[in-house]
Amino acid sequence: MKLAFPESTLDLNSPVAMAIVNVTPDSFSDGGRFLAAEHAVQHGVEMAAEGAALIDVGGESTRPGAEPVDEVEELRRVVPVIRELTAVAGVPVSIDTSKPALMEAAAEAGAVMINDVNALRADGALQVAVDTGLAVCLMHMQGQPRQMQANPAYGDVVEDVYSFLSERIEACLAAGMDFGRIVIDPGFGFGKTLEHNLTLMRRLGRFRDLGRPLLVGVSRKSMIGTILGRDANERLWGSIALGIMAIERGANILRVHDVAPTIDAMRMIRAVSAGDDQQVVRQDG
């Protein structure tokens, strides 16, 4: 399976890691650490060197209860980072936003993908995505970040999310978007209880029926903290465990904070799946 960018493609026959670069003061895990553009760029370059196949740059936190960021400030935060990473990181860059103006500016700065927690539902977002020619990730979210965890409810969380994503794919195709540009994300933690998240993971394979690459973002999420009693920066092992389970159930892209450990886990999965025991022996010396 491949994902089409404006002038290239990403091979997803083996799972890849998407590195998270939050240019924000209030993201749940690393808020404030990379708010300065030079720090964000350095962080992105380091994660590309560790093996990330994509870098996802965001200037507005989407954690539960997060306050919205105005367009001008979000532009100020992310555009210089995207422009520089495009020039020096050596891997494709994605913009994590729901605002059409940010999508346009990011495309001009060199981004090749839009990662939208609102699945291109904002006024004008779908048309901008079509016009830019960028790849898109359509994510499911019930409600909006400020109140999405107030009382999320579903009939069947898997089938409800599946129906939503199917409808958004159809909307994209009807607007003229190529099918090969679309990625889907069930939205772990976005308007879901712990049990909803666990059910999504158990039945994640259902989303393969949509025929598009599957992105999963569970890195350091609160579901891990609830189960393990760990703070956000102590959730590596839980994140890796969920990432492995996601890959086993069909995930093509893992969106992560911790690239190097994730890449190690992916390499082990790949070696076992291929049955190439000699390759593992050689790498271990």
- Examine the residue annotation and report whether 192 is marked as an active-site residue of this protein: no
- pLDDT band, residue 64 (cuts 50/70/90): low
Is 35 a residue whose pLDDT tops 80? no
Residue 276 lies in a domain: no
Residue 13 lies in a domain: yes
Structural domain boundaries enclosing 228: 2-260
| Residue-level pLDDT at 66 | 65
CA distance 86 to 284: 34
**Average pLDDT score over residue span 45-72:** 86
**Average pLDDT score over residue span 114-141:** 96
Q: Is 125 in contact with 118 (CB distance < 8 Å)?
A: yes
Q: Could you report the per-residue pLDDT of 195-215, keeping only the tens digit for each?
A: 999 999 999 999 999 999 999
**Average pLDDT score over residue span 203-232:** 95
> What is the total count of domains within the chain?
1
Non-local (6+) Cβ contacts of 227 within 8 A are 194, 238
Residue 232 lies in a domain: yes
* Torsional class of 143: left (φ above 0), alpha (ψ -120 to 50), beta (otherwise): left
**Amino acid present at 131:** D
Which pTM value belongs to this model? 0.88
Non-local (6+) Cβ contacts of 101 within 8 A are 71, 75
> Strand, coil or helix: what is 41?
helix
Non-local (6+) Cβ contacts of 22 within 8 A are 29, 30, 31, 33, 34, 58, 61
Looking at residue 237, which CATH number applies to its domain?
A: 3.20.20.20
Higher pLDDT: 279 or 149? It is 149
Catalytic pick among 63, 77, 220, 255 = 255
> Strand, coil or helix: what is 93?
strand
Residue 153 lies in a domain: yes
Catalytic pick among 221, 230, 249, 267 = 221
Residue 198 lies in a domain: yes
Residue 193 lies in a domain: yes
- Examine the residue annotation and report whether 99 is marked as an active-site residue of this protein: no
**DSSP classification of residue 112:** -
Residue 280 lies in a domain: no
- pLDDT band, residue 171 (cuts 50/70/90): very high
Residue 279 lies in a domain: no
CA distance 62 to 67: 8
